[in-house]
Structure 1
Amino acid sequence: MRDGFLDLVAKYVHIQESIVCEFTRLYPAVNDSKWMLGVPAKGLINVGGESWRFIKHGAGVRFFLEGGTERLIIDVHRLFGVSNFIDWWRLAQFFESCGVNMDKDEIILGLQGMNSSGSVSEYDGGYIYNIA
């Protein structure tokens, strides 16, 4: 597992949980439908004093940090209501936006290592992050 992998996963989950919490507060219909009917196609939300632009796509929403020095991407492409759900795609998008290039196999290997240690549990084709 690459140095810093666990820290980046923890950072991702923390940001994702904050975004999902605020988004569901603003748009309660998000959890009522697989296709998020009643949720705007795009918009802007404020999370922790930072502005995140969002674009709805398919069964998910992609969030982009606006301004600042970082241009982070949080792509909650499915299972929106499970705020601690992660998979290789979500992490790949986030890692790349952080300037860390890891391929699918490297991310999956890291997640499998986390699963072996109990940091994550397998769930619906991805993992539930277990560390509070």
Structure 2
Amino acid sequence: MNAQEIIRQYSDLQASLVASLRSNLRHVQDWEFLTDVPKRGRLVVGDEGWRYGRHGAGVQFIGERTGRVVDAHVGLLRSPSAVDAWRLSQFCEAIGIATVHYGGRTFSAQDEGELELCLRELAREGILVEVPHSARLWLLSPRVDALREVERD
């Protein structure tokens, strides 16, 4: 699968899940450390039910129908659509993607190191930008998002 497409799928889904969680848990005040987020819960996004579990300063979502796994990072408020190699590898494994492709190269979707190389390559090409003050978190470039909006029109 094309690396850009899987990153877009993951980041859009993660942003939707985080937005739904925030909308359903309006009473939560600690979105940095999640101390007042329920340990476990359920929500619906699109046509799928999602179970979630809080861990440390993150939340793992598991799709009830598809088994997709989205492990939202600690920067839930600042960058709800950011990705990293580890989270992307979990997502790919859950949906049965063994490799991703970019720039004529094939990267193992199950190998965090290879995915990190892929993400860095995408950043060199201006497709991803690194989230400031983060531990290897990446966002789709605003330029890429602008092109996506043009494609929708």
Q: What is the TM-score of this pair, normalised by structure 1?
A: 0.88
Whether 1:129 aligns to 2:140 is yes
Deviates more, 1:78-87 or 1:38-47: 78-87
Distance 1:80 1:31 in 2: 13
The match for 2:67 is 71
Give the C-alpha shift of residue 33 in structure 1.
4.1
The match for 2:44 is 46
Alpha-carbon displacement from aligned partner over 1:9-51 (angstroms, at most 9, x marks no partner)? 1110111111111111112455634321221100100111210
Which of residues 31, 34, 56 is equivalent to 2:32?
34
User: Which segments of 5 or more consecutive residues in structure 1 lack a partner in the other structure?
Assistant: none
Distance 2:68 2:18 in 1: 15
Distance 1:94 1:31 in 2: 28
**What amino acid sits opposite 1:56 in the alignment?**
R
**What amino acid sits opposite 2:126 in the alignment?**
G
Query: Identity rate of aligned residues, in percent?
Result: 29
Distance 1:48 1:97 in 2: 18
Change (3 A) 1:33 1:120: same
The match for 2:149 is none
The match for 2:10 is 12
Q: What is the TM-score of this pair, normalised by structure 2?
A: 0.77
The match for 1:113 is 121
Q: How many residues align?
A: 128
Runs of 4 or more, structure 1, over 4 Å off, are none
Give the C-alpha shift of residue 71 in structure 1.
1.1
Distance 2:112 2:30 in 1: 31
Q: CA RMSD in A?
A: 1.6
